[in-house]
Chain A
């Protein structure tokens, strides 16, 4: 029996805190994307992050990484106080001592100091670094693992400035990606997902079209309406061929376009493909976007195509409010290392970046840092770069500290602390101010106050304009804190295209070898502290559906040729470095390409993330100031070791029942019910439920869903979903209440992808309810299928009888003891029960939110409406694929949506009568019948006839 635990109320209750009632604070995510967030706090501690609905980038959405950021705050492996390395061993020191010692070193090293950060934006954050550098005559360098330097270089060559453009996916009816993954790993991926999602809901018989030319199945490629698979780098020629075709259609300007014909036959495309895509793009000129991959060639071609299509200044914003979201530079990093190696730098201060991990060993980061007399690390943990430091002075999580953000020029956010610092830490910017003050230098050293005052003062002088804002500064500041942002962006105008020389494009290295290497960023794991985020590591890869490791993606033919299978460990060698990773055979990848994601293979990030997967950065080379990630020759060697991949796809036994409905958009226009399975009237033995009040229901638009996993992440945080670890995943015991099922259709070499969020369907005729021997799962009067935890005895009959396989059993103890060490328990949502070992659990349709919505409606003495609450998955879904509401209200959104001809229920033939409805997946491409150029696939589902003998 568990001992009773005491609840101790406040003696002096803070005015703004009411026990049990959450407070929300607007802020901005501290990462490079700078999305507006709402921080939900309970009794003074953050428990959930959500997108700020008013913020123009996040639009109320948040991606998986953003949702799980809360875990990083409570990560027990963060530094807990200042440390100094003495004789190779850490020793504790006070902040005062640290400040005094460091101030002396800085004074002595004036002119020989470097500040190395990741991308920093925000007027105050930028200014404090600039002021520090001015005070100490220091140099500031920015470096990120993925610098987007190629994009900036291409912008410079094409338009004369190094700003990264902002892209308006919400205005784009046609998107062409040349080896680009804007939806998975773009520098403003959340904004782009949200914008993209707006045009994926069929309105007035229109939807956007996404075309991808690529060598690997990224999030974007897997969501493409049409995909052209080609060798690494060939998409450059693909783009040039389209440019050539556009010129024939009257695209403005005369551009020299290198001849790439006969490209189609060389790339194995059907004749006429280029012409058709060019025709479609031309029809969508001014309403399209072309995105290039992470090479200069791709980026230059993308600039050319956007220019020819008139997208510049419309969907591509290079001068109105361009992006500040990626400023890192390999060139800068090389310059720093040259200075270090030449003895020109004595003191290095680092935070927000981790070059010791994200640069190949051949770059010599450790050796160069070793030349500095003092390295000061202001990051939150002793990571790979931190371990090169003499002083480890813990920085703060952005939820603990002040700060600001300016992700796009003119779009300002204040980052405000929502909790007292958990440890003896200090914001890195605060440390810079303190160092200057203790050193007594001019400039920053004379500033009176701390980082909070500095942010306010900067906003007073740099953001607040008395002629623009009617209010005084205090009112303006309070308004900025309340709203979370100030939008002073200006509209773009078309820039002058400088017609860079494209004669030498397509210079991607021809390896001459059998295999080519492609290194891509992970959509989830980055080179910072989130590699120690257990929730994030357990989240399956959006496409591969493998969790807890990265892997070498090989096409089925390549794996077969090399005698490799899923889970075989291989040594991958490129550019003189070797890493060991498992093989994952990925249908749809291009043959003879080895694709590996970065972010994994950390040596020093924490107890969870150390030595998980392999570090793909190690395989890259640096060329022309850029990380070369594509096309290098690579060799692989089988190690003989095999481990089952923790692959969550295929766990679920569905008896081969029909689950996915899909159709080509062209078919849908002719027949709105195209793609749906043949339907029969069903007879039920059960009496009907009477729903006199509310009846909750959900609609999921599979056309809008891009499989990004944000819903899974939001659900985990909201509902205290435990992490079970790699071993339990292999046993099929993941605990996610909502999962994304990824289905392939077509053949293994050129499959199409469908993502299907699957959660408890809250069936009217719920098979789980009828078999529970202790009536632990019951039907509510509002149509919810409820699990009563303290009745459940763990027979698992309900799970056995669930055709959707959405019930989760607690095989182990995942209650408070599992959230050791401190402060992990603080991540738990107090509004949701933490379940014990031996009982069943599942999606509740976020019942706690329904109740909150009801209370809100009750206070206002009116019926509950759709606007009163959102489920966690619905709230965060970047593409608005999930809708939820009262189906008994004929005016509700879900009621209207359930009348759509595309609506269908999964496994309807077992007559479970689910409350969750799906929309047929539509692909905006011609049907096989009308387009002879499409190949490799069979007819659409809607054209299928049931096999003889099929049961009904």
Chain B
């Protein structure tokens, strides 16, 4: 059996005529602060956790335990430079780039029928 054939592949309208299901009163009432939290994918504030010192240490020592600090620092810099608030959110960016990738990839895969394999053995 190739996959679950008993499930209809379905889609649903992604809009609700009313705020039928809600999780907090702020959401029910459309409270701006609550919605800001609700609609924020990234609770984290990079500046709370990441600093240049750690990023530099990673670049110098290559200590893998510091990689997330370095990544966070990069994210912080992008944000500070208006990356996220300057027009396009990371989600929107990923939607566009993901769609593009998906279309290209899907077409290529359909054409070739080749499979991707993850790296099996590292040096």
- Known contacts A800-B91, A917-B7; decide if A944 and B16 are in contact (CB<8 Å): yes
Residues of B within 8 A of A60 (CB): none
- Known contacts A748-B28, A801-B94; decide if A656 and B14 are in contact (CB<8 Å): yes
| A887→B22 CA distance, assembly (Å) | 32
Least CB distance from A879 to B in Å reads 21
User: Does A899 touch B at the CB level, under 8 Å?
Assistant: yes
User: Does A857 touch B at the CB level, under 8 Å?
Assistant: no
Residues of A within 8 A of B24 (CB): 647, 649-650
- Known contacts A685-B103, A732-B43, A837-B65; decide if A679 and B12 are in contact (CB<8 Å): yes
| A608→B109 CA distance, assembly (Å) | 54
**Contact string against A for B residues 87-113, beta-carbon threshold 8 Å, 1 for contact and 0 otherwise:** 000110010001001110110011001
Q: Are B4 and A811 in contact (CB under 8 A)?
A: no
Closest residue on chain A to residue B66 by CB atoms? A838
Q: Are A682 and B10 in contact (CB under 8 A)?
A: yes
| CB neighbors of B among A894-952 (8 A) | 895, 898-899, 903-905, 907-909, 911, 913, 915, 917, 938, 941, 944-947, 949-952
Q: By CB atoms of chain B within 10 A, which of A677, A744, A775, A811 has the most?
A: A744
Residues of B within 8 A of A904 (CB): 10
Q: Are A951 and B9 in contact (CB under 8 A)?
A: no
- Known contacts A689-B2, A733-B43, A775-B119; decide if A754 and B21 are in contact (CB<8 Å): yes
Q: Are B22 and A744 in contact (CB under 8 A)?
A: yes
| A743→B27 CA distance, assembly (Å) | 11
Residues of B within 8 A of A691 (CB): 1-3
- Known contacts A650-B34, A653-B38; decide if A951 and B23 are in contact (CB<8 Å): no
Q: Are B11 and A909 in contact (CB under 8 A)?
A: yes
Least CB distance from A134 to B in Å reads 58
| A465→B7 CA distance, assembly (Å) | 56
Q: Are A677 and B12 in contact (CB under 8 A)?
A: yes
Closest residue on chain B to residue A685 by CB atoms? B106
Q: Are B2 and A680 in contact (CB under 8 A)?
A: no
- Known contacts A682-B9, A888-B1; decide if A585 and B118 are in contact (CB<8 Å): no
User: Does B123 touch A at the CB level, under 8 Å?
Assistant: no
Residues of B within 8 A of A908 (CB): 9-12
**Contact string against A for B residues 5-32, beta-carbon threshold 8 Å, 1 for contact and 0 otherwise:** 0111111111111101111111110000
| A903→B23 CA distance, assembly (Å) | 23
In-complex Cβ contact of A911 among B1, B4, B9, B105 (8 A): B9
Q: Are A770 and B20 in contact (CB under 8 A)?
A: no
Q: Could you say which of A157-165, A245-253, A657-665 contacts chain B? A: A657-665
| A171→B106 CA distance, assembly (Å) | 55
| A687→B44 CA distance, assembly (Å) | 36
Q: Are B43 and A946 in contact (CB under 8 A)?
A: no
Residues of B within 8 A of A811 (CB): 44, 49
In-complex Cβ contact of A658 among B12, B90, B101 (8 A): B12
Least CB distance from A274 to B in Å reads 30
User: Does A794 touch B at the CB level, under 8 Å?
Assistant: yes
| A685→B104 CA distance, assembly (Å) | 10
Q: Are A680 and B3 in contact (CB under 8 A)?
A: no
Q: Are B68 and A838 in contact (CB under 8 A)?
A: yes
Residues of B within 8 A of A949 (CB): 15
Q: Are A794 and B68 in contact (CB under 8 A)?
A: yes
In-complex Cβ contact of A678 among B13, B25, B98 (8 A): B13
Q: Are B65 and A838 in contact (CB under 8 A)?
A: yes
Residues of A within 8 A of B78 (CB): none
| A904→B17 CA distance, assembly (Å) | 20
Residues of B within 8 A of A647 (CB): 24
User: Does B40 touch A at the CB level, under 8 Å?
Assistant: yes
User: Does A686 touch B at the CB level, under 8 Å?
Assistant: yes
Residues of B within 8 A of A732 (CB): 43
| A913→B71 CA distance, assembly (Å) | 31
Residues of B within 8 A of A733 (CB): 43-44
Range for the number of chain A residues in contact with chain B: 35 or more
| A432→B7 CA distance, assembly (Å) | 63
Least CB distance from A927 to B in Å reads 15
User: Does A778 touch B at the CB level, under 8 Å?
Assistant: yes
Q: Are A794 and B13 in contact (CB under 8 A)?
A: no
User: Does A489 touch B at the CB level, under 8 Å?
Assistant: no
**Contact string against A for B residues 66-83, beta-carbon threshold 8 Å, 1 for contact and 0 otherwise:** 011001000000000000
| A660→B23 CA distance, assembly (Å) | 12
In-complex Cβ contact of A887 among B4, B9, B43 (8 A): B4
Closest residue on chain A to residue B18 by CB atoms? A938
Q: Are B17 and A946 in contact (CB under 8 A)?
A: yes
- Known contacts A660-B21, A838-B68; decide if A951 and B3 are in contact (CB<8 Å): no
In-complex Cβ contact of A677 among B3, B13, B68 (8 A): B13
Least CB distance from A771 to B in Å reads 7
- Known contacts A587-B25, A794-B67, A795-B71; decide if A944 and B20 are in contact (CB<8 Å): yes
Q: Are B39 and A911 in contact (CB under 8 A)?
A: no
Residues of A within 8 A of B109 (CB): 686-687
In-complex Cβ contact of A771 among B20, B23, B98 (8 A): B98
Q: Are B15 and A950 in contact (CB under 8 A)?
A: yes
Least CB distance from A654 to B in Å reads 9
Closest residue on chain A to residue B8 by CB atoms? A679
Closest residue on chain B to residue A795 by CB atoms? B71
Q: Are B118 and A775 in contact (CB under 8 A)?
A: yes
User: Does A597 touch B at the CB level, under 8 Å?
Assistant: no
Q: Are B14 and A911 in contact (CB under 8 A)?
A: no
User: Does A764 touch B at the CB level, under 8 Å?
Assistant: yes
Residues of B within 8 A of A854 (CB): none
- Known contacts A687-B109, A731-B44, A898-B7; decide if A744 and B23 are in contact (CB<8 Å): yes
Q: Are B20 and A745 in contact (CB under 8 A)?
A: yes
Q: Are A950 and B13 in contact (CB under 8 A)?
A: yes
Q: Are B67 and A946 in contact (CB under 8 A)?
A: no
Closest residue on chain B to residue A906 by CB atoms? B12
Q: Are B3 and A911 in contact (CB under 8 A)?
A: no
Q: Are A659 and B21 in contact (CB under 8 A)?
A: yes
Q: Are A903 and B38 in contact (CB under 8 A)?
A: no
Q: Are A770 and B3 in contact (CB under 8 A)?
A: no
Residues of A within 8 A of B68 (CB): 793-794, 837-838
Least CB distance from A276 to B in Å reads 26
In-complex Cβ contact of B20 among A587, A778, A795, A941 (8 A): A941
| A744→B25 CA distance, assembly (Å) | 10
Least CB distance from A347 to B in Å reads 54
User: Does A556 touch B at the CB level, under 8 Å?
Assistant: yes
| A898→B49 CA distance, assembly (Å) | 44
| A836→B18 CA distance, assembly (Å) | 43
User: Does A84 touch B at the CB level, under 8 Å?
Assistant: no
**Contact string against B for A residues 685-698, beta-carbon threshold 8 Å, 1 for contact and 0 otherwise:** 11111110001010
| A895→B3 CA distance, assembly (Å) | 11
Residues of A within 8 A of B6 (CB): 895, 898-899
Residues of A within 8 A of B41 (CB): 653, 800
Closest residue on chain B to residue A944 by CB atoms? B17
**Contact string against B for A residues 798-842, beta-carbon threshold 8 Å, 1 for contact and 0 otherwise:** 001100000000010000000000000000000000001110000
| A905→B9 CA distance, assembly (Å) | 9
Least CB distance from A808 to B in Å reads 13
In the complex, the 7 A-B pairs of residues with the closest C-beta atoms, listed nearest first: A685-B106, A950-B15, A838-B68, A679-B10, A677-B12, A909-B11, A946-B13
Contacts from A to B (Cβ < 8 Å): 556, 566, 585, 587, 647, 649-651, 653, 655-660, 677-682, 684-691, 695, 697, 731-733, 741-745, 748, 754, 764, 770-771, 775, 778, 793-795, 797, 800-801, 811, 836-838, 887-888, 895, 898-899, 903-905, 907-909, 911, 913, 915, 917, 938, 941, 944-947, 949-952
5 sampled A-B residue pairs with Cβ under 8 A: A687-B110, A744-B21, A778-B118, A811-B49, A903-B7
New contact pairs (20) apart from A748-B28, A811-B49, CB-CB < 8 Å: A650-B38, A653-B38, A653-B40, A660-B21, A677-B12, A679-B8, A689-B3, A691-B2, A793-B68, A793-B71, A794-B71, A836-B65, A898-B6, A909-B10, A911-B11, A945-B17, A946-B13, A946-B15, A946-B17, A947-B13
Contacts from B to A (Cβ < 8 Å): 1-4, 6-18, 20-28, 34, 37-41, 43-44, 49, 65, 67-68, 71, 90-91, 94, 98, 101-103, 105-106, 109-110, 113, 118-119
